Amino acid sequence: MKLPRFLLWVVLAALAVGGFLFFAEKIGLALGTRREPRTAAIVPEPARPEPVEGAEGPSSLTPATSTPPVSPPPPADRSATVLLTLPKRAGPNVFPYAPYTYRTGKSIASNQTIANETLFLAYEEWKARFVTPEGAGNALRVRRSENSNDTTSQLQAYGMLLAAYFDDADTFEGLWRYTRLHRDEHGVMHWRVNADGVVVGTGGQTDADEDMVYALLVADKKWGSFLPQARTLLEAIMTYEIEAQTFLVKPGSWGGSSVLNPSYFTPAYYPIFAVVSGDARWLSVRDAGYQLLGRASNPVTGLFPNWTNASGGDAPQVTWDAHRSDFAQDAVKIPWRLSQDWLWHGERRSRAFLDPLVSFFQREVGAEALVSGYTTIGKPFTSSLDVGYAGMIASAAMTARDTAFARDLVAKVGNLPGWDTTGMTLKVLSLALLSGNYPSLAP
């Protein structure tokens, strides 16, 4: 049986087009002009025991330090897979941030294209798992999976930072809307809200409030209209969360010289805050914080405590944190903050603290033996490793002259399971910095 002439031409044309596309694809891959999309497994949250409500602090009035890590559950079913592709954008202030350099540093990625795609997929997975409208009142919140799906101002601020850096305006606006729905009388977000939208931890948490200001400044640079809100929040922080006589960063509207959390010190922000607000006191905050780190850090290991006082000693009032004097889940964020100050501003005081700390982990610990908690003299007190903890150490290691140790840690981060919101959030933030995709975007 012969095919009609017109059908024969249709078949031949289809074969010709298919052959052309096949060879065009191969040529494009060989020349590097086409990238294969990568996949990210977006999985349901693994089941694990729920903690006791409010167990992280002495009362609902006192911001809590992070709890020590626990062993992760068995790997989740990864049958549900979503195909994601790195968006094609152009411009100096959009992701990805070519040429992936800082004032005093650059990306440590050996393959920048893969690093960018990996980072983008990590963000999309984080958002799919932890950003939710449930209990948010026509807004969006970051749910803390490790604590009954509540929301903290700290996670909300991290979410705003990520949404701004990844040009995700809708997510940013949704998170900022939720934040505004849960403000205290000073205009800062209450530090803890339960899954139903009820405030269960009153008052602000200073590092979260500082991160929110910076996120607003980044958003203003990208989309406009957020600068007045950033300035208002800055004024509230200076008035209620900075100790007037010493310029030390208080934990919130409470505490002061007798109770300080050095991880709430965000030195890379303060020169920017000074310019935006026209208030030179922010430079005094930066100076006072560096002096505090000098008193609180171990001179041999370079490690810091979770909590301290103005003299660098113990803070016995912090009864809710069994590791208040250790380099634990709060203190590990200090090197990440210091790394930003070095990369963005070339601040030499940051290197004075980063160098001994990185040397300790590289020479005395090593990437394979890293765990999520040490005394300040360098003794481990746990056998597990959290992905966020590893990411924070890697962020510090990228400031070293030899970045091989940082690359080893990045490989470690990539192989670790991420099951909790805090760890996964810090993972994405650290990967952004390490890949050159976390430039200073504010004025």
Q: Is residue 224 part of a domain?
A: no
Confidence of residue 119 (pLDDT cuts 50, 70, 90): very high
236-266 pLDDT per residue, tens: 999 999 999 999 999 999 999 999 999 999 9
Q: Is 104 exposed, middle or buried (0-12, 13-18, 19+ CB in 10 A)?
A: middle
Confidence of residue 47 (pLDDT cuts 50, 70, 90): very low
C-alpha 409/C-alpha 372 separation (Å) is: 13
Q: Quick one: pLDDT at residue 91?
A: 64
Mean of all residue pLDDT scores within the chain: 86
Q: Is residue 364 part of a domain?
A: yes
Q: Quick one: pLDDT at residue 90?
A: 55
Q: Which of 16-30, 115-129, 337-351, 397-411 has the lowest mean pLDDT?
A: 16-30
C-alpha 86/C-alpha 80 separation (Å) is: 20
Beta bridge partners of 106: 101
Q: Is residue 61 part of a domain?
A: no
Report, as an integer, the average pLDDT of 294-299.
98
Q: Is residue 381 part of a domain?
A: yes
Q: Which residue has the higher pLDDT, 123 or 48?
A: 123
Per 3-state DSSP, what percentage of the chain is helix, strand, and coil (rounded to 5)?
45, 10, 45
- How many domains, the chain? 1
Q: Is residue 414 part of a domain?
A: yes
Q: Report the predicted TM-score, pTM, of the whole model to 2 decimal places.
A: 0.83
CB–CB of 276/231 below 8 Å?
yes
Confidence of residue 417 (pLDDT cuts 50, 70, 90): confident
Q: Is residue 147 part of a domain?
A: no
Confidence of residue 349 (pLDDT cuts 50, 70, 90): very high
67-80 pLDDT per residue, tens: 344 344 443 333 33
Q: Quick one: pLDDT at residue 5?
A: 53
Tell whether the model's pLDDT for residue 155 goes beyond 80.
yes
The CATH number for 383's domain is 1.50.10.10
Q: Is residue 100 part of a domain?
A: no
Q: Is residue 387 part of a domain?
A: yes
Domain range enclosing 399: 302-443
Tell whether the model's pLDDT for residue 229 goes beyond 90.
yes
Tell whether the model's pLDDT for residue 408 goes beyond 90.
yes
